[in-house]
A and B are shown apart, each in its own frame.
Chain A
């Protein structure tokens, strides 16, 4: 452990490398050395965070340019070829869970609950073990996906892509014991929608979710076994 008088000297010694680390151009032993130092030095960690903001912003300064005519068409063709080449056999199951992980992360981020500036450089943590997902169905037809995150608070998120209905819909959950709670409302447009909300009850209490029309008609349901 370094003494107090040595810390500023070590910090000063690594200032060049902090900038290079933020820019993504530091490799090998130097990179490992700086990362180890930042782990135990809040001052340099704060500096690195701001330098990282600068490095990220530099990329965003690049001017927007209209791609050549036909860009979308050519990309669609490449995507199609790529999708065929990379289609895994168990895509649906794995893909759904992965998507759930993304939604958990992104809605938390979007609502400002997870990704505070100090979180930016923190190592990624697996969230998939806390997720449960299920199809949202109506008359045996899959309309979308529902996901529940067992965090504090728990979250419910859904993506609907095949709904025959449009307009305002309510989301209700049925808890263990049969109690029904309304957790919010959102709008489906053209059969599509993506939405999420925190749950007041623990995720382990949630048994099912359903979409309800304003007139009380149940439009779709999802059975969850958390």
Chain B
């Protein structure tokens, strides 16, 4: 019986994150979940902004000061990228739901497209924010 015990213990464990070679499909999946949680934090900022706008000038001034500070801008920049990424990769997920794009080549290509487009779109939004609508 002791013999059965030791063989049971030494069975190979299933592969996990530390063993798999990183692929773009795996990375996009993990980032999708991470950006989803990050967007929850961003939504809290949007909620604070709306509640402050509804409450009064003093409260709104506090939020405004926070957002225009370096830390606020950093959060807002992250929020922009998370939104761009999650939105674009969400469309990729919706395409999968129709049965399109599951071939390895297609899934790899759309994964890279989503990553590149999310960065480009974020930069476009921030360049517009800085140069077209105000020089803050």
Q: Do A and B come from one complex?
A: no
Q: List A residues at the B interface (Cβ < 8 Å).
A: none
